[in-house]
Amino acid sequence: MKSFYGTQLSNPLMLGTAQYPSPAILEQAFRDSGAGVATVSLRRESGAGQTFWQMICELGVLILPNTAGCHTVKEAVTTAHMAREVFDTKWIKLELIGHTDSLQPDVFQLVEAARILTEDGFHVFPYTTDDLIVGERLLAAGCEVLMPWGAPIGSGRGLNNEYALRAMRAEFPDVPLVVDAGIGLPSHAAQAMELGYDAVLLNTAVARAGDPAAMARAMMLAIEAGQLADLVDPIEARDMAEPSTPVIGKAFLS
């Protein structure tokens, strides 16, 4: 597994902290998932109070604050600075939304904000599209990680464009890549890891499940399975059948 700005993750699952029925269920989900990173929205959860922030810090995992809800470079940069003060971390998930319905990133502002934050010492995790040129621009701006979406945030649609995600993995073989957003089922998470991605970031699929803790564990197991499948060099798909038993020396019955 690749390192993220020099840090090795204990588990390639990055789990969000929003929308859970209760703080106790959130804690249980993190315990059952073994998630290595907790993502936290400073703007959308700012009214949760000091008790909530303390609980997040006590989860015993790496904290990745994000700039969810930001629509301009200024908003994102200001939120990132606030997050650095609250959580004492250089890590920031840079989310800069350009389209209200799809929550698609505004990649033009994203690149500019990434450049500003990187120059200011942040370790930027940009939530982006699966566009190769945008990926190149973000890396040139100083990012060392790319987080392309699988599908729109909260949609649960899985990997909408597997071809593009494969192309991104092939284009940036040495860059840590995270599928961020759109995961709805454990099979989606496994598929992302089978493509050779280094981690998966999700929230809604766990937080809004009938049993968040059980779904969190299912996601963890699926990610482990997908990661192992990628490492063992799986067979390629074929258009025709191929016998699984030997045909040489086969006895012919008259």
Residue type, 202: L
What are the contacts of 78-83 at 24+ separation with CB within 8 A?
Answer: 79/42, 79/43, 80/117, 80/122, 82/42, 83/40, 83/42
User: Which residues are known binding-site members?
Assistant: 154, 181-182, 203-204
93 is catalytic: yes
Answer whether 32's CB lies under 8 Å from 8's CB.
Answer: no
The helix (run of H) or strand (run of E) holding residue 179 is: strand 178-180
The helix (run of H) or strand (run of E) holding residue 24 is: helix 23-33
Q: Which of 2, 74, 93, 250 is catalytic?
A: 93
User: Assign residue 91 a region: left if phi > 0, alpha if psi is -120 to 50, beta otherwise?
Assistant: beta
User: Which residues are known binding-site members for 1-deoxy-D-xylulose 5-phosphate?
Assistant: 154, 181-182, 203-204
Active site amino acids: 93
